[in-house]
Amino acid sequence: MWKNKRKILLLLIDIILLNIAYFLAFYLRFDYNIPHQYFLLYKKTFYIVVTVTVVTFIFFKQYNKIWRYASLHDIMDLIIFTTIGSAMAAFVLLFLQIHLPRSIYPLYWFLSALLIGGSRIAYRSYMENSSKVKVKNIKYKKVLIVGAGDAGRILVREIKNHPETGLKPVAIVDDDVSKLHRSIDDVPVVGKIDDIQEVITEKEIDEVIFAIPSAPRTVLKKVIDKCSEMRIKVKTLPAIYELVDGTISISSIRDVDINDLLGREPVKIDLEEISSYIKGKKVMVTGGGGSIGSELCRQIARFSPSRLIILDIYENNMYEVEQELKRKYPELDVICLVANIREEKKINKIFSEYTPDIVFHAAAHKHVPLMEVSPHEAIKNNVYGTLNLVKVSDLYNVNRFVMISTDKAVNPTSVMGASKRICEMIIQEYDKKSKTEFVAVRFGNVLGSNGSVIPLFKKQIAEGGPVTVTHEEIKRYFMTIPEAVQLVIQAGAMAKGGEIFVLDMGEPVKIIDLARTLIRLSGFEPDVDIPIKIIGLRPGEKLFEELLISDDKYVSTKHEKIFIEKPVSVDYGDLILTLEKYKDKIDDMDEDEIREFIKSLVPEYNPDYQRSLMEEVAATEIE
C-alpha cells in the first residue's frame, strides 16, 4: 500500500517540478517578463507538455525504482528519459500545429533534467541521513578494508549507512598503485596488501574485511596469514559467483571459512555437454542421502532429467534430500527407494521396474579405520554391492554407469582403499563386454563431507581442544563437495567406457597446517589457546595419498582438471569368477584370511604399511 502511495507522491512531485520547469523556460526566454499572449500560450500547452513527459517516465518504469539507492547510472538514465520526454512533447505540439519560440524546448529540457534529477539526489541524500541511527555509548570497531574496487567502494558506503553494525572503516589497502593515497568516501587508501600489518598497528585496527570477490584464493590466504599473526579476525565477501544477483550489502559479510582457503577457483563445466546426456533421461543415484550422493542429486536436478531415482539404505537423509528437491524443482519426478545394494534380487527388481538410463554409484562404506575393524562389511558392501549394480546395469542396458572412487584405491594400505580398487577393476573389465559405458571417477578428501576432518576439528575447537592430528607429516588432497560433484558429472559426459577419470586435486595439504589454520580462523592461537595433539596413524591410514597408480600412466582430456588413467590389464574372467566363488564364503573367513583374499585380487595392497613405516623411522633414529 505504502509503495503505491510513494509512487503517486513521486508522480505528483514530478508534475509540479515539470510545470515549474516549463514556466521557468518561458520566464527566462522573455527576460523575466512574459508577454500576455505567450503567457496564454503557456497556459494552453503546459498540461500537454507535462503529461507527455510524465507518460514517458511511466513507460520507462522510472516510478518502479528505489530512489534511495539511486546511482549515477540511474541519474544518467533519468536524463536520457527526460530528453526523450522533452522531444516527444515538442513533437506533439508541432503535430497539433502549436508553435513555441524555439529556445523554449532546450530550456525546458535543461530545467526539467535539473529539477527532476536534483529531486532524486536530494531524496537519496535525505534518506541516507535519516537512516543513520545514532546509537549512544557504542564503541565502534575500526575496520580495514582490503580492496579499493567496486566492492570496496560499495562496502564502505554500506558500513557508513549502517552505524548500528558498530563498524567504522578507517583505511583501505589495495595493490593497484594508481589508487594509493586516494580516498573512497573519506576513507584513505593507505598502502598495499603487503603493508597490512603496519596499517593494523598504526590505525589500531580491530577487524579486516576482504572486499575483492574476484580475487584468487591465494590472495585471501595471504591476507589471512598476515592478520592471523597479529590475532586480527578477517571477514570476507562471498566470491563473485556466490553473489546471486551481484548485490553487495552488509548482510553479505561473513566469516572466512576453511573452504575459502582450500577450495580452488570456480570449476568451469560444459553445461551444454552435460545437459545433452542428462536432460530427459532417467537418472539413478545410489547412496543419494550421503554428502556426495545428495549433492549429485541437487546438481543433476538442474539439468532436467525425466526422473531422478534416489537409492539409499538410510531413509532419514534421503527424505531430507527428497523434500529439498521437491521444493526447488516441483516439476521433477523424484523417486526415493530404500534398498541395500548387497541384495541382488532387490536391485534386479528395482532396475527391472525403473530402467534407469544413467547410474551414478556413490553408495559405499568409506571410513578407513572402521573398515579395518570390519573388513568383511567393506568387501560385502563395496565390492559385492558394486558387482550387483554392474551386473544389473549390463542386463537392463543402462547407457552409462559412473562409479565414485577414491585416491585411497591407489597402492592401498587399507581394506577400504583396496575394496574400491577392486571396484575399479570390475568397472574396467565389465566394460569390455558390455554395451553399457562403465567408468569410475577418482578423487581425494571432500571438505565438509560426513566423517571428514573439518567437522571433527571444528567440534574439538568448540570444546576447547585438543585438536587431534594423527601424524606431523600426514598430507591429504582436498576438494569442495560442489567442485567434486561438478567434475564427476562432467567426467560422465566425457565417458566412452572403461576409463578411470582422475580429478586434479591441486596440491596436497598438511593436516597439521590445516588444523592450525582452522584454529586461527576461530580466533585462537594454535598451541597457546588450543593445543594440537599427535595421536599416531589410525588403522589403515598412510602418510600420503596418491591419485595415479603410476605417474606416467595418464592422459589429458579436453577439461583441464580431468585426466584419464591408462587401464591396467586384468583378466576379466578370473576376477569375476573369483569374486563369485568366494561370495558366500566371506563371512566364514577370519580377518587374516579376508586380507589375504584382498591381496590375491590387488597385489599392490599393503596391509603392513604402518609397520614398515615405523621400522623405517626407527632405523633413521638409530642412524
Residue among 151, 148, 144 at smallest CA distance from 196: 144
Sort 463 into a burial class: Cβ within 10 Å, 0-12 / 13-18 / 19+.
Answer: exposed
How many Å apart are CA 290 and CA 337, to the nearest integer?
14
| Cβ 243 vs Cβ 219: under 8 Å | no
SS3 state at 343: coil
Residue 132 CA neighbour count, 13 Å, CB half: 12
How many Å apart are CA 556 and CA 574, to the nearest integer?
31
Catalytic residue among 408, 420, 542, 561: 408
Please name every residue paired with 439 in a beta bridge, in sequence order, or none if there are none: 402
Query: Can 553 be counted among the known catalytic residues?
Result: no
Q: What angle do CA 291, 518, 443 make, to 5 degrees?
A: 40
User: If you search the block for the grid coordinates 578477517, which residue do you land on?
Assistant: 234
User: What DSSP designation does 569 have?
Assistant: P
Please name every residue paired with 308 in a beta bridge, in sequence order, or none if there are none: 283, 334
Residue among 67, 85, 91 at smallest CA distance from 21: 85
Torsion of CA 119, 125, 130, 135, to 10 degrees: 180
User: If you search the block for the grid coordinates 565417458, which residue do you land on?
Assistant: 495
How many Å apart are CA 240 and CA 263, to the nearest integer?
14
How many Å apart are CA 482 and CA 78, to the nearest integer?
42
> At residue 173, what are phi and psi to the nearest 5 degrees?
-120, 145
Burial 134-149 (b: 16+ CB within 10 A, else e): eeeeeeeeebbbbbbb
| Cβ 272 vs Cβ 223: under 8 Å | no
Please name every residue paired with 405 in a beta bridge, in sequence order, or none if there are none: 442
Side chain identity at residue 121, one-letter code: I
> At residue 331, what are phi and psi to the nearest 5 degrees?
-85, -10
| Cβ 379 vs Cβ 419: under 8 Å | yes
Q: What angle do CA 108, 113, 117 make, to 5 degrees?
A: 150
User: What DSSP designation does 357 have?
Assistant: S
| Cβ 501 vs Cβ 439: under 8 Å | yes
How many Å apart are CA 56 and CA 328, to the nearest integer?
39
How many Å apart are CA 341 and CA 17, to the nearest integer?
75
- How many CB atoms neighbour CB 161 within 10 A? 19
Catalytic residues: 408
